[in-house]
Amino acid sequence: MPKAVRDRLGAKPGDELTFEAIEDGFLVKSQPRVNVLDFAGIASSNAHRVPSTAELLDQVIAEGRAGEAKARDRRIREEARPSPRAGGRH
């Protein structure tokens, strides 16, 4: 996978890439590798509500990951928009 494509996807070593055939090419998605250290920020921002069960902890982690994924997807979409100075489409 070319570096420019990995950078555009926000893919890092160990991330899972999936390819889906679409009408005019391929759709490539990056699923970040799960690492316990990635949860440090999520856990610290939710320290005031420490879950009392493993199920609740799983829910807090899932919510944090979903928020991070939405932010990453938003950033990728914004970067994919043509520059106003370019005066056209990519």
Q: pLDDT per residue over 47-61, tens digit each? A: 666 777 888 888 888
Question: For the whole model, what pTM was predicted?
Answer: 0.37
Q: Are 60 and 51 spatial neighbours (Cβ–Cβ below 8 Å)?
A: yes
- Coil vs helix vs strand at 86: coil
CA distances from 87 to 6, 8, 75, 80 (A): 26, 21, 21, 14
Q: Are 67 and 46 spatial neighbours (Cβ–Cβ below 8 Å)?
A: no
Q: Are 72 and 78 spatial neighbours (Cβ–Cβ below 8 Å)?
A: no
Each residue of 6-46: pLDDT tens digit?
888 888 887 888 888 988 888 888 887 776 666 666 666 65
Query: Token pair for residue 2?
Result: 């070319």
